[in-house]
Amino acid sequence: MPRHGKKYLEAAGLVDRDRVYPPREALELAQRSSVVDFDATLEAHIRLGVDPRHADQMVRGTVVLPHGTGRRVRVIVFAQGDKAREAAEVGADEVGAEELVKKIEAGWLEFDVALATPDLMGMVGRLGKILGRRGLMPNPKSGTITFDLERAIREVKAGRVEFKVDKGGIIHVPFGKASFEPDQLVENLATLVDAVNRAKPSGAKGQYFRRLSVAATMGPGIRVDVPGVLAAASA
């Protein structure tokens, strides 16, 4: 069995594992229970009552967090001509077509999000094995294949995150930093949970939200009251 260090055990001692916390209290506790020496990322872990093996129960989407994620996002764009110039002007970190494909084929992967215009997907498709297993392949369902590059780049840079249920029926998403104000974290988490709620698939039966917990990097999980988060989203 894995053994936790002293710092983790001290942090875990702050958390009542049998309690479901109101949103603000849970997030303040997550900030206090951070055990790392850097600005920890806060993540939400949402267990849903779906079976993603069935197409009508798949949950995925994107959402722009009102206060961003607290991290700099490196964006590359596969585009040419006027669209390449547009991407560069808006702030893409790397823009190109065939030469960018070859650069990635050679092993370069210093980016967080890849966008592409639809006309270049035939070329970008060569990178499927490289980008696909890293979750970086442009996809129309996540809004990363588009001609509206200005909007897409601005949203990604501002804090757009993608969520997708894994094979265990759980969504894992970063939604801020431990250095954020509690109110900012509440708003970000509420916006995320509201987006997941709106993405409820037609095939989902019974209880949709099974469990929501938050945790700082390498910190203990803290259960959060889902109705309280949804109420914050509608406030």
Q: Where are the domains of the chain?
A: 6-69+160-234, 75-157
Give the pLDDT score at 2.
57
Q: What is the token pair recorded at 120? A: 């270049």
Domains 6-69+160-234 and 75-157 share a fold: no
Alpha-carbon span 72 to 26, nearest angstrom: 26
Query: What's the pLDDT at 97?
Result: 97
Q: End-to-end alpha-carbon separation of the chain, Å? A: 44
CA distances from 133 to 105, 128, 137, 205, 227 (A): 14, 8, 8, 30, 35
List own/partner pairs for 138-142 with CB under 8 A and 24 or more apart: 138/78, 138/114, 141/60, 141/61, 142/60, 142/61, 142/62
Query: What is the CATH topology of the domain spanning 6-69+160-234?
Result: Ribulose 1,5 Bisphosphate Carboxylase/Oxygenase (3.30.190)
Cα-based distances in Å from 63 to 14, 80, 94, 123, 156:
31, 27, 23, 28, 10
**Global pTM value:** 0.81
Mean pLDDT by 10 residues, the chain (235 residues): 70 86 95 88 96 92 92 95 96 96 96 96 95 91 92 91 93 95 96 95 92 92 94 84
Q: Is the dihedral of CA 144, 210, 41, 233 positive or negative?
A: positive
**Domain topology for 75-157:** Rossmann fold (3.40.50)
Task: Determine whether 3 is exposed, middle or buried from the number of CB atoms within 10 Å of its CB (0-12, 13-18, 19+).
Answer: exposed
